[in-house]
């Protein structure tokens, strides 16, 4: 694997659920690109730490507990005419999951369901671009599937 920049990475969204929560199910969907994304943040499953302290050994034993698929805070240049941003703004007013595709510059693709928890406009100062910030809480399908990776 080769290290690379994030330049050329894209984010796309759809309100349509896949028939199956795997790469093939997601690939069958029609996504709308979200324009003007300037920072996509990070995502990935994180487990809670469970500890056990037996009296006899005095040591702390560590285990993986429940997991959370995580969240993403997106930074965007606000474009109220961008179809992807329009969908994201509408999603922020819905309790439903929306479905996302992140495509890296080398063709690797990540799919995931998420709730758009916020959509905030940032005006800033005279030398700043009017922006938007969106928070995505990545969901899990009933089978525990969260982020699905499709290698190119």
What the chain holds in terms of domains, given with CATH numbers, is 10-150 (4.10.410)
**CA distance linking residue 39 with residue 42, whole number of Å:** 9
Instruction: Give the pLDDT of residue 97.
Output: 95
Instruction: Give the pLDDT of residue 145.
Output: 75
The residue that leads in pLDDT, 2 or 19, is 19
152 has pLDDT over 80 = no
**CA distance linking residue 126 with residue 128, whole number of Å:** 6
**Torsion angle of the four alpha carbons 105, 42, 147, 35, in this order, in degrees rounded to the nearest 10:** -50
* Mean predicted confidence (pLDDT) in 130-139: 96
Instruction: Give the pLDDT of residue 77.
Output: 98
Instruction: Give the pLDDT of residue 150.
Output: 77
**3-29, pLDDT tens digit by residue?**
889 999 999 999 999 999 899 999 999
Instruction: Give the pLDDT of residue 2.
Output: 84
* Mean predicted confidence (pLDDT) in 105-113: 92
HEC states along the chain? CCCCCCCCCEEEEECCCCCCCCHHHHHCCCCEECCCEEECCCCCCEEEEEEECCCCCCCCEEEEEEEECCEEEEEEECCCCCHHHHHHHHHCCCCCCEEEEEECCCCCEEEEEEEEEEEEEECCCCCCCCEEEEEEEECCCCCCCCCEEECC
Place of tokens 């093939």: 24
**32-83, pLDDT tens digit by residue?**
999 999 999 999 889 999 999 999 999 999 999 999 999 999 999 999 999 9
142 has pLDDT over 80 = no
Which pTM value belongs to this model? 0.90
């Amino acid at each position: 694997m080769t290290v690379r920049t994030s330049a050329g990475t894209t984010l796309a969204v759809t309100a349509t659920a896949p028939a199956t929560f795997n790469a093939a199910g997601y690939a069958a969907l029609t996504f709308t690109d979200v324009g003007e994304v300037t920072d996509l943040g990070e995502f990935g499953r994180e487990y809670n730490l469970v500890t056990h302290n037996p009296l006899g050994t005095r040591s702390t034993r560590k285990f993986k507990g429940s997991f959370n698929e995580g969240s993403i805070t997106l930074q965007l240049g606000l474009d109220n005419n961008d179809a992807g941003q329009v969908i994201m703004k509408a999603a922020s007013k819905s309790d439903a999951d929306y479905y996302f595709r992140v495509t890296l510059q080398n063709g690797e693709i990540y799919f995931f369901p998420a709730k758009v928890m916020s959509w905030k406009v940032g005006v800033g100062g005279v030398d700043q671009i009017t922006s938007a910030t969106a928070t995505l809480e990545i969901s899990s399908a009933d089978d525990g599937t969260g982020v699905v990776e499709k290698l190119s």
